[in-house]
Structure 1
Amino acid sequence: MRLSEETQYVRSICLGQRESNEFPFSLPAVQSLQERLSFHPNVTYIVGENGMGKSTLLEGIAGALGINPEGGTKNFNFSSYDSHSNLQNFLKVTRGVHRPNDLFFFRAETYYNLATNIEELDREGFGPKIIDSYGGQSLHEQSHGESFFATFMYRFKGEGLYILDEPEAALSPIRQLSMLTRIHELVLEGSQLIISTHSPILMSYPDAKILQLTEKGMCDVTLEETDHYVTMKQFFDDKDRLLHHLLNR
């Protein structure tokens, strides 16, 4: 059953007091969190150009919830390179009355490290094999896109809070359409998703909230108002004209 405003797991976040205006607090998107940011009960998208703070924001939310900032669940504590900011220490998370049965932070940038950690833990042989929760096949023995999708299909199981940072990174357009179907299945199974993406295909989930990060902060937009959609539409509507200007032909 879909979550509602009464049953959603995470309602909002805001920025608490901090002593510095250095990174990440220098980011306009982070500064805008001085006013409370509310999430959609089902799907919220965080979009914007590179450098606007999408990944920083998502890793801050994950960290504030007690999830490993490099990805996975609360049970993962691997760290290949300590590059995350201290934003998590200053975020105030307003949670709903209901608690999710599952928490997972999917981060495309560090997914290889997550897959490696799973294999290392399984070699140690403590308890059931973790990889069985991901379809049973080594994530390293699949293509990048197949291993991504194995996580979405097998590891995500509904009634969960799923934070996804650029899940489309290894997905073809056809797979992105399949991902939309999977998002819908998870929503119907009582999940809440917060997704950072550059893909207009993924952003198209009906009735979702889209927050666009800019140099002025962040604002609610429709799919058609996002920079990503506008750019792609311009390209496909008049490809030759755009290429003429780009390539000086």
Structure 2
Amino acid sequence: MLKNRGYLSSVKIDQKIEIDFNSYPFDIAAVQSIGNIEFHPQVTFLVGENGSGKSTVLEAVALALGFSVEGGTQNFSLRTTEASTSELYRVLRLNRGVPYPKDSYFLRAESFYNVATYMDEVGYLDGYQGSLHTRSHGEAFMAVLLHKLTGKGLYLFDEPESALSPSRQMAALCAIHKLVKKQSQFIIATHSPILLAYPHAKILQFDKSGISEVFYEETDHYAVTQDFLNNHKRRIEQLLSDEDD
């Protein structure tokens, strides 16, 4: 396990820089309350509804660390889309631990296909055990977790569950744990109640009130999933009857 404060211990907005908090993304409540986010030395989860700012903050942290906006390792710069990035990363100040990580990766679900294509084009497939395009999206994600990541690393994941079945999410949880035991640190934006169950992780809730630390059982992901599974017939009846109205 990590014996220090983690490879990335905290992040904050530089108060010396003039910022228009009425402009995007600084008008998002969570961004305005970044303050001094302290990360768990092993696993930190960012959770919240769509539009709450969790992926925006994770992207900004990744860019401030030197990753490509589309993800991958820090060894190449890739931008195959015209999607705009926010200016948040320019005003972030990172507090890094000691020593620096020996490995790093930014896995972004929405642009992972572009990263896989780039890997094929340049023939840089070391660690992936062959072309990622010969596998399903979920299998390619798992190839990164099981083969590409080597430990003693800082890993940023944005919604990794999007291509994974529930059973594969549990397999991913095991892979994450093995890498944590190899002195790795994860920061993960997710909607998955399965991934969120990782023990002793820090969960940061992003909502209209800002950012707050919560327990697993306090997340909407846990409460909504538990309620639906325990009362699925009634909930389906309610949902579909509302649609009929």
> Could you tell me the TM-score, scaled by structure 2's length?
0.94
- Which amino acid letter does the alignment assign opposite residue 30 of structure 1? V
- Which secondary structure does the structure 2 equivalent of 1:134 belong to? coil
Match of 1:10 among 8, 17, 21: 8
Identity %: 47
Which residue in the other structure is 1:133 paired with?
A: 127
Aligned residues: 238
Which residue in the other structure is 2:197 paired with?
A: 204
Is contact 2:69-2:78 (8 Å) kept? Answer: no
| In structure 2, C-alpha distance between the alignment counterparts of 1:138 and 1:214, rounded to whole Å | 39
> Could you tell me the TM-score, scaled by structure 1's length?
0.93
- The reply to whether residue 70 of structure 1 matches residue 70 of structure 2 is yes
Which residue in the other structure is 1:156 paired with?
A: 149
| In structure 2, C-alpha distance between the alignment counterparts of 1:98 and 1:8, rounded to whole Å | 9
- Which secondary structure does the structure 2 equivalent of 1:147 belong to? helix
| In structure 2, C-alpha distance between the alignment counterparts of 1:18 and 1:210, rounded to whole Å | 30
User: How far 1:7 moved relative to its partner?
Assistant: 4.7
Which residue in the other structure is 1:101 paired with?
A: 102
Which residue in the other structure is 2:158 paired with?
A: 165
Q: Deviations over 1:167-226 (max 9, x none)?
A: 111111111111111111000000000001100000011000000101111111111110
Residue pairs, 1:230-249, within 5 angstroms: 230-248=223-241
- The reply to whether residue 117 of structure 1 matches residue 95 of structure 2 is no
Is contact 2:13-2:91 (8 Å) kept? Answer: yes
| In structure 1, C-alpha distance between the alignment counterparts of 2:210 and 2:93, rounded to whole Å | 18
In the alignment, structure 1 segments of 5+ residues that lack a partner are: 123-129
Bigger mean CA deviation after superposition, 167-176 or 76-85: 76-85
Q: Detail structure 1 runs of 4+ shifted over 2 Å in the superposition.
A: none
- Which secondary structure does the structure 1 equivalent of 2:24 belong to? coil
